[in-house]
Amino acid sequence: MVKPKNVPSKKATVIQIPALHTELQQIPDPRQASGKRHPLAAMLAVACVAMLCGYRSPYAIAGWINNYGHGYLRRFGFTRERPPAQITWYRVLGQIDYVALEVRLAHWASQAVSALSSALDLRGIACDGKTLRGSAQQGAADTHLLSAVAHQLGITLAQLAVPDKTNEIGAIVELLSMLVLHGCVITTDALLTQVKVAEQILAGQGDYVFIVKENQPTLYADIKLLFDAPPPLPRGQQWPQAESYTAGHGRVEIRRLQASTALNAYLTWPGVQQVFRLERQITRQNHSTTEVVYGITSLSPARASAAQLLTFTREHWHIENKSHWVRDVTFDEDRSQLRRAHLPQVMAALRNAAISLLRAAGHTNIAQAVRFFAAQPEQAMALLGLPIGE
């Protein structure tokens, strides 16, 4: 891989990443042989590079590549003198098997983060859903996507569309099957706290940290009762506790977590090793609110202290800050009106690919990085693994 030069964005953890362009060549082309005027891999490569440069729709992508000559086209893999027409971009991107696209992107992402396995004993992966506003077709519901994002890097490891008239519970099993779970800790919100989800994670030699609410009434009542009326402990002993404090933008948040193994022999939940109580106190302009939630994990105290559990619960929300928020604010996803065929899912996958490329290369300010690549498109090509220079 060729690294981009002189990028002003602040850097975080930098890892060696495989060439995404190689993965794009493995995606099946849905077109008839007679209709293949432009290679699919070349079109996808252009779409990814244009996305890195801030061009966020098929219309914008078509306009972007039209700005460059035949030399650029050759480096992307085109054989014709002229780039695809605007209508071709809409038609071809809308025909792509978005499931196959997501599978190849997941394969690339798993390779991109594999270098972390030697640095971290446990890697957090957050699973959560996001609705694509404005993507509904003919009265149907907006497209809803379920994704898995690495806590620390913010790389999307896998994503799939939740079928209409179903929910995330049915889709999470398929999503998890796309991941390498060994050595990973899956975090979810309360909706996905399900027995079959826990069983699948454990079968893949992974672990879980789940939030427990009233949708699991018996489990919730048992954990709440334990912390509301704790059994007496020997003198001098107490349950493990941890606290964190963050402040910024006029907001102060204090998190306190208390963990216990007291229910391990009582609960029938798969793989349970600890339960916990998490209290979040948020203060804004001298007004405070307090929320208490409960949780369950397959991590024993020897493998995850109260402080580590607190970190996992806090970093779960990186999926909002490092993925969903960036997709909406930097890439304008929520205002997209794409509805044709598979375009909403395909463009969401390409946005994820762009963000993941930037995160894997160490960029923490995605908007700043996009502005840089808009002025230096050859560096965006290098990030994808394409040749630079004539």
* Dihedral of the alpha carbons of 222, 227, 229, 230, in degrees to the nearest 10: 110
* Under 8 Å between Cβ of 148 and 127: yes
What are the two backbone dihedrals, phi and then psi, of residue 309, each rounded to the nearest 5 degrees?
-65, -40
Residue 185: CB atoms within 10 Å: 27
The CA distances from residue 139 to 94, 143, 164, 265, 345, in Å, are: 19, 12, 12, 50, 18
Residue 136: CB atoms within 10 Å: 15
CA atoms in the 13 A half-sphere facing the CB of 153: 31
Give the pLDDT confidence score for residue 138 in this predicted structure: 47
Cβ neighbours of residue 125 closer than 8 Å, sequence gap 6 or more: 148, 149, 150, 151, 157, 179, 184, 185, 186, 187
CA dist 70 and 77 (Å) reads: 11
Q: What is the sign, positive or negative, of the torsion defined by CA atoms of 270, 271, 276, 282?
A: negative
CA dist 352 and 274 (Å) reads: 34
Rg (CA), the chain: 23
Average pLDDT per consecutive 10 residues, the chain (390 residues; last block may be shorter): 46 62 91 85 95 92 89 89 91 91 91 65 86 56 85 90 79 93 94 96 97 97 96 86 89 95 96 98 90 97 97 91 82 65 85 90 91 94 82
Residue 110: CB atoms within 10 Å: 17
- pTM recorded for the entire structure: 0.86
The single residue listed with the structure tokens 């048992």 is 222
Which pair of tokens denotes residue 54?
Answer: 């801030």
CA dist 124 and 153 (Å) reads: 10
Give the pLDDT confidence score for residue 233 in this predicted structure: 83
CA-nearest of 111, 213, 189, 182 to 153 is 111
What b/e readout covers 342-357, taking b as 16+ CB neighbours within 10 angstroms?
A: bbbbbbbbbbbbbbbb
* Under 8 Å between Cβ of 338 and 347: yes
CA dist 24 and 100 (Å) reads: 10
Task: Tell how strand 184-188 and strand 156-162 pair up.
Answer: unpaired
Give the pLDDT confidence score for residue 232 in this predicted structure: 86
Give the pLDDT confidence score for residue 345 in this predicted structure: 86
Residue 173: CB atoms within 10 Å: 13
The CA distances from residue 187 to 319, 324, 344, in Å, are: 10, 16, 26
